[in-house]
Amino acid sequence: EMMYSKEKTMFILNAPTAQKSSVTLRLYKQGQGGKAYKTLKMKKLGDERWEATVKGDLKGKFYTFDIGKGETPGIFAKAVGVNGKRGAIVDLRDTDPEGWANDVRPTLNNPCDLVIYEMHHRDFSVDISSGLKNKGKFLALTEPKAIEHLQRLGVNAVHILPSYDYASVDESKPDVPQYNWGYDPLNYNVPEGSYSTDAATPTTRIREFKQMVQALHKAGIRVILDVVYNHTFDINGSNFQKTYPDYFYRKTAEGKYSDGTGCGNETASEKPLMREFMKESVEYWVKEYHIDGFRFDLMGVHDIETMNEIRAMVDKIDPSIYIYGEGWSAGSCAYPQEKLAMKAHAKQLDGIGAFSDEMRDALRGPFSDDHKGGFLIGEPNQEESIKFGIVGAIAHPQIDMTKVNYSREAWTNEPSQMVAYVSCHDDMCLTDRLRATMPYITDDELIRLDLLAQTAVLTSQGVPFILAGEEMLRDKKGVHNSFRSPDSINRLDWNNLKRYPQVFDYYSGLIALRKAHPAFRMGKAEEVRKNLEFVDAPKGVVAFRLKNNAGGDAWQNIYVVLNSQKTPQNVKVAEGSYTKVVANGKVNAEGLGLISGSTLTVAPQSALIVHD
Ligand code: CA
């Protein structure tokens, strides 16, 4: 750690196994290259900590620690030079944009009120068609065109893919196009340099990140950070290893580094210093950067207790900060399965959400086989898994769990613990998946099924989540794992907004409908059990009724019918007179026509929503 003041700077390193008088502090004038202008031996402070104090104003200088395992900025650097190799001495108050002290988090009553937009900085703005000036940068999200797009779409949270300092992009070459999702952490508590306009000036990335948060907050949009504490880019080069060797990683019974992440190593959240590190890191992002939510990558690698402690710590600051994660790992972990923060253990993780692969895969097919489809292309027996996603993975008397694809029992306490989605940055986006599973699909059919899929997501009682660009019918040219594919694969083509205006209109219309009608987001399991009733429907159709002015809705009864069949389908409902608000690929909350009687007819491959 580095504590700066004009008069002196104090450096402290927690390095319990460092040998006596062997911890070196080096000071540099540059963020990379050149020789140290000053080298000091740090003093031992108690049993585990090392200290050095340097007089004078060191602002603008750089530093590294060295216990004999190579130079490191330490595990909790708050500012770094280019490529994150050296810590930077900054006064964080210099990085606050004007008005930062008055920045406020947009209000949120229940996570089910969120509509999350998952985006990568480069995907979003790098293409010329975006019309944005700061291509691939944090600042793109401060530009009116970007903000207006998000506001018109209606999303109220952006989930930004890893935006802490990661290793795989060379920040010293801003003019060379480089791409990575960023799941290769280097410095957890510093923004990534390649997303700033000047990676070599340490304060720039910090200030620009804050400007981004500030602009989004002003627009009523929350900012959710993707955090990847489960592994580091590598072991030997990691700041953990260079500070307290082997402590932060799990090992197998044979003494090998465990690899439950599929990335070569796996951190040990259950160890006190790792747990403390994660808590302090999350707290730091909330307090210094005003972050409103966290998405834990491979949350199933972390232990339940750590996740609950993080939740409790965040609750003390603001309980509306939403925490969710991937309730799985990518391999077997060197820790007892029953203690891991897996989706199946969500009931022990109150207030923490997990992605539902049940609904995702029932709609579009399994992660393991891109060419196998689901409900959307008419695969049979997917209905029950979709129903399970509609209720937010709670226990519901009408769901037969023996017919749900992956889970034998309900796994949430409350619907806010389930993230509803059909696509994310991982594997194929929705259009690619539909093309891969339906080889002769026409554009018309593709759009119909795309809209049908998102209707399931946006009428789920869980927390809806969409991948950026789906609203412009994006594709990734069929690439499954595009983590380092070029811009030509990953970039959004904003011209699609003109090509497929009906897609954006449907997404935005449906989001507006969800936001205007609490029946779609009751927020409480008891309410959902009481007021959401599934209706008998033909094969390939899922139908439900939201009754009793659910959630305090102005509409007494709402019927939602999802038809994946290529022919019109009928569903029997209570005799009455109904106003269509979603039908045949169109949304209009004011009404798209009336239906009288007790039969709802839903057009092929589309959704119907009516109210009485
Ligand atoms: Ca970096």
Q: 45-74, pLDDT tens digit by residue?
A: 988 999 999 999 999 999 999 999 999 999
Considering the candidates 118, 326, 432, 527, report the single residue annotated as catalytic: 326
Collect all residues with Cβ–Cβ distance below 8 Å to 490 and sequence separation of at least 6. Answer: 120, 122, 123, 179, 476, 482
Its sign, for the CA torsion 440, 444, 445, 451, is positive
Query: Ligand 1 center to residue 534 CA distance, Å?
Result: 49
Spatial distance between the Cα atoms of 31 and 16, rounded to a whole number of angstroms: 27
The answer to whether residue 446 scores a pLDDT higher than 70 is: yes
Write the pLDDT tens digit of every residue in 540-587.
Answer: 999 999 999 999 999 999 999 999 999 999 999 999 999 999 999 999
pLDDT number for residue 47: 83
| pLDDT tens sequence across 138-160 | 999 999 999 999 999 999 999 99
Q: What is the mean pLDDT of residues 206-220?
A: 98
| Cα-to-centroid distance, 172 and ligand 1 (Å) | 9
Residue 21 has pLDDT above 70, yes or no: no
Dihedral of alpha carbons 293, 299, 302, 305, sign: positive
Q: How many angstroms separate the alpha carbon of residue 67 from the centre of ligand 1?
A: 23
Cα 83 to ligand 1 centre (Å): 5
Distance from the alpha carbon of residue 165 to the mean position of ligand 1, in angstroms: 4
- Give yes or no for a contact between 359 and 386, defined as CB atoms under 8 angstroms apart: yes
For residue 143, indicate whether it is catalytic: no
Q: Report the chain's C-alpha Rg in angstroms.
A: 25
Which candidate in 143, 226, 297, 553 is catalytic?
A: 297
Q: How far is the CA of 373 from the centre of ligand 1 (A)?
A: 37
Taking a C-beta distance cutoff of 8 angstroms, is the pair 283, 53 a contact?
no
**DSSP state letter for 382:** -
Tokens of 458: 């946006």
> Which strand (E) or helix (H) includes residue 609?
strand 606-611
> Is 297 a catalytic site residue?
yes
Residue percentage of the chain with pLDDT more than 90: 98
Distance 269 CA to ligand 1 centre (A): 23
416 and 110 in contact (C-beta within 8 Å)?
A: yes
The pLDDT, as a whole number, for residue 46 is: 86
CA–centroid distance, 242 to ligand 1, in Å, is 18
Model pTM above 0.85: yes
